[in-house]
């Protein structure tokens, strides 16, 4: 008699424990439950048709593997949680510093806005365009010359191309290096840190931008 053939119920529980790690009623079955079930099956086996020992060993190995996997997942989850807590604590030292982060929008405050352009091609003419999001009109173009590759900083004084002072608020920014669009960054003060969950890690709250993942920060000063 095989381990899967006692009273029907045992067969269902055994099958589920090896294939999905749960019993037929949806409750979790662990290694101790499986061993208890196995002992019961052995006590009630037909003497004329004893249990197949190779099948028993195979099923024991499967339930042990399931249990080991569950233990590993628990350990990894705990480790990730500890790392995230440590990273948030370490990042708290960035509060009050300025961070340069990727963004296509920036806040003009007290007539000043600072940012940067990620230049990937050396000696290409680089220009920043400031756009009024309400009208969609480019209000200022800033010529950055032909810088070397890397982050090239820029500052906007809040004035339009005709020299008039524009109101504080949020503006769209974009950049080109030659004929190619370039990534724009904005510089703001770090006002807080937090956890964005196991998939994303730590984030910084940057004034004028919002929450930005720590992994996306280009510079901290």
| 8-12, 33-37, 58-62, 105-109: range with highest mean pLDDT | 105-109
Tokens found for residue 128: 């920043």
Beta bridge partners of residue 55, listed in sequence order:
none
List Cα–Cα distances, 74 to 31, 65, 80, 81, 186, in angstroms. 16, 14, 10, 11, 39
State how far the Cα of 157 lies from the Cα of 177, in Å rounded to an integer.
22
Q: Is the pLDDT assigned to residue 16 strictly greater than 50?
A: no
| Range in 78-92, 112-126, 167-181 with the lowest mean pLDDT | 78-92
164-209 residue pLDDT tens: 999 999 999 999 999 899 999 999 999 888 877 666 678 888 998 8
Question: b/e for 23-46, b at 16 or more Cβ within 10 A?
Answer: beeeeebeeeebeebbeebeeebe
Report yes or no: 160 and 140 within 8 Å, Cβ to Cβ.
Answer: yes
pLDDT of 90 reads: 64
Q: What is the pTM of this model?
A: 0.59
pLDDT above 50 (res 122): yes
How does pLDDT run across 56-68, given as a tens digit for each residue?
A: 677 777 777 777 7
């Amino acid at each position: 008699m095989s381990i899967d053939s006692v009273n029907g119920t045992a067969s269902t529980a055994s099958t589920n424990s090896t294939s999905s790690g749960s019993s037929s009623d949806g409750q979790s079955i662990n290694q101790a439950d499986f061993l208890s079930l196995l002992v019961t099956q052995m006590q009630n086996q037909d003497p004329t048709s004893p249990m197949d020992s190779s099948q028993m060993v195979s099923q024991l190995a499967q339930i042990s593997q399931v249990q080991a996997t569950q233990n590993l997942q628990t350990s990894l989850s705990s480790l990730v949680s500890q790392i995230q807590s440590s990273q948030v604590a370490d990042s708290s030292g960035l509060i009050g510093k300025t961070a340069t982060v990727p963004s296509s929008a920036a806040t003009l405050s007290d007539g000043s806005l600072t940012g940067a352009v990620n230049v990937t091609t050396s000696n290409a003419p680089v220009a920043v365009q400031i756009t009024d999001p309400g009208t969609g009109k480019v209000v200022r173009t800033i010529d950055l010359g032909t810088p070397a590759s890397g982050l090239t900083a820029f500052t906007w004084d809040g004035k339009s191309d005709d020299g008039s002072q524009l109101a504080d608020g949020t503006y769209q920014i974009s950049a080109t290096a030659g004929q190619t669009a370039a990534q724009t960054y904005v510089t703001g003060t770090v006002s807080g840190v937090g956890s964005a969950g196991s998939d994303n890690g730590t984030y910084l709250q940057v004034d004028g931008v919002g929450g930005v993942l720590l992994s996306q920060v280009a510079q901290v000063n």
